Structure 1
């Protein structure tokens, strides 16, 4: 960060994690905020994000710093929802723009601790209803007021967080269906080991590769048992908020989705009356087995979601495997459609391509209304 005095002066080094005044000093802190290199997310809590960073990079950095703040400041509460998903090693549909923390109700109401108010922030009573909601949504820490029993809480890295099953339940109930299904799919894969990388089991005179798809029957049994346990939890919440939507999400969840875009494309199918595809549909040949991201075996159709994440390690080898897989499916009479992440994010475009790929009879199933987002429900009602 240059002070502009002379071109030869080196910029002071700003740490990339949680930054406090005691670490960098007041002058550097104020200079960093003015230049846009530092972002304040809480009183005496700043994060260093390059001004040209992508939105998701900024959100990810701010979320990580908020977690560190919760740990170091020993804030009361339990990390929940998408923040808990990330702490369990799961995936979210969007990078969370705030840390979600559950705090219990107080008999005499919630009381603000005796702290000095930020002079740059207007009092809530001076804001209108819309501006107040916007101000609350822009905060880096969202507190949710509900009780979580100790049996549903574990500790990860010194931070109290909801256990995996409670996290699945909460995400299915309180997130929009697109975000909920991505989170639940990823946690189900973690719980069953479906996304574990292949491992070599070496024994004298032989070498065996342990791959998740070689344990498909076992993983499916574990996923079924997990689904049953979550449904039992929901049955004890009959009549409460989000239970109907949660049941739809849990019924649709699978441990075999390997990216958020695969999950979203499957949700688009289910929410719009398209026959449910099989995630990671296998095709056995004489020499190997290929897998399609989504497939309709009886209809001889398959869908692939192409993204840069698949090419990050060895792009040439990945493209060669993709070409070999496509050729194998085509030789077996399959028609394949490739979707980009942008096409999946555009629901109308994805639906148009899916309906062009599949026969009409496969697009006349009953929609799963519980998997429709708020925007989709509004459009369907018009």
Structure 2
């Protein structure tokens, strides 16, 4: 996948010229336009070409919409939109001739009466095949939406056999319905893969005059991690609110590390090093007057 297409995938399919140029050279944008990998939809705005209808692709192949395409149909958050429909067909069935391009998968159990894999199977299929951060994004979202509960996911993952089953069990163990965005899920995946423990999703800091939630907080070290998407911090009102919140957390003993989308997605080594440095210089305990720490229930979803 080209660099510019990858950036558009990670921005839900669209981006301005300035957003693209911050991450890729101008020649990559021109090349993407020339070969049809991207298209200009307005002055200074670029997008991926339309993806064929996954339901039509599944019908053409005599299978089910599956994997990321099924996750999108179920309303789950995904880190990357599929560049073509993903379809699962019965094992041994050959690809049918069709003008609708798709990515085929084969499985033993493909109910002919369904159009799409079920929610649990979709999460497990993604967990088997996707990179850790992408699979965790889907699983976190499914739990957050109440599409399944964590115990159900853990039991189903434990019963899997064959390729990807170990990866699926790892995703099931890490999944947490408290994660509120794909970027937050990716930030947590970075911590998990780096072996950094102690950070809890959606920590609430509250006292009589102040209340705030932290994307990922370390209650013992009072370190707060925030995954900041531009859409939530792009106005003067949002800036004023964020500054006030930052000051209030600092007054209560918290150190706030804020990471941008570009940091989390493209400079993960720096993110890990920054967090480790913050943990290394932490005294490990603070006296925080008139402030209580509340954690949401540990059970996800």
Instruction: Tell me the CA shift for residue 103 of structure 1.
Output: 0.8
Return closer, same or farther for 1:161/1:276 CA change in 2, 3 Å cut-off: farther
The aligned residue for residue 84 of structure 1 is: 70
Q: Do the aligned partners of residues 258 and 38 (structure 1) sit closer, same or farther apart at CA in structure 2, a change above 3 Å counting? A: same
Partner of 1:132: none
**Larger % of helix: which?**
1
Within the candidate set 55, 67, 78, 2:54 is matched to 67
Note the C-alpha offset of 1:187: 1.6
The verdict on how the C-alpha distance between 1:172 and 1:70 changes in structure 2, with shifts beyond 3 A counting, is: same
Q: 1:360 to 1:267 in 2, by over 3 A?
A: farther
Task: Quote the Cα distance in structure 2 between the aligned partners of 1:235 and 1:329.
Answer: 40
Matched, 1:143 2:110: no
Q: TM-score, structure 2 length as denominator? A: 0.72
Q: CA RMSD in A?
A: 3.1
What is the Cα deviation at residue 75 of structure 1? Answer: 4.7
Residues 285-339 of structure 1, C-alpha deviation per residue, up to 9 Å, x if partnerless? 2134210111101111101122212136xx2332233223212211111111111
Unaligned runs of 5+ in 1: 1-35, 41-46, 119-138, 155-159, 193-222, 363-382
In the TM superposition, residue 53 of structure 1 has moved relative to its aligned partner by: 4.8
CA contact (8 A) 2:78 2:137 kept: yes
Q: Pick from 96, 99, 121: which aligns with 1:166? A: 121
Query: Which residues of 2 match residues 30-69 of structure 1 at below 5 A?
Result: 50=41, 53-54=45-46, 57-58=47-48, 61-63=49-51, 65-67=52-54, 69=56
Whole-angstrom distance in 2 between the partners of 1:361 and 1:347: 21
Tell me, which stretches of 5 or more residues in structure 2 are unaligned? Answer: 1-32, 284-301
Shift of 1:93: 1.4
Report the equivalent of 1:244.
Answer: 166
Give the distance between the partners of 2:239 and 2:206, measured in 1 at CA.
20
Structure whose alpha-carbon radius of gyration is higher: 1
Partner in structure 2 of residue 292 of structure 1: 214
Maintained 8 Å contact 1:302/1:337: yes
Cα deviation, residue 140, structure 1: 4.2
Q: TM-score, with normalisation over the residues of structure 1?
A: 0.58
How many equivalent pairs are there?
249
* 2:258 corresponds to which of 332, 338, 341: 338
Contact 1:39/1:49, CA 8 A, preserved across alignment: no
CA distance in 2, matches of 1:276, 1:332: 19
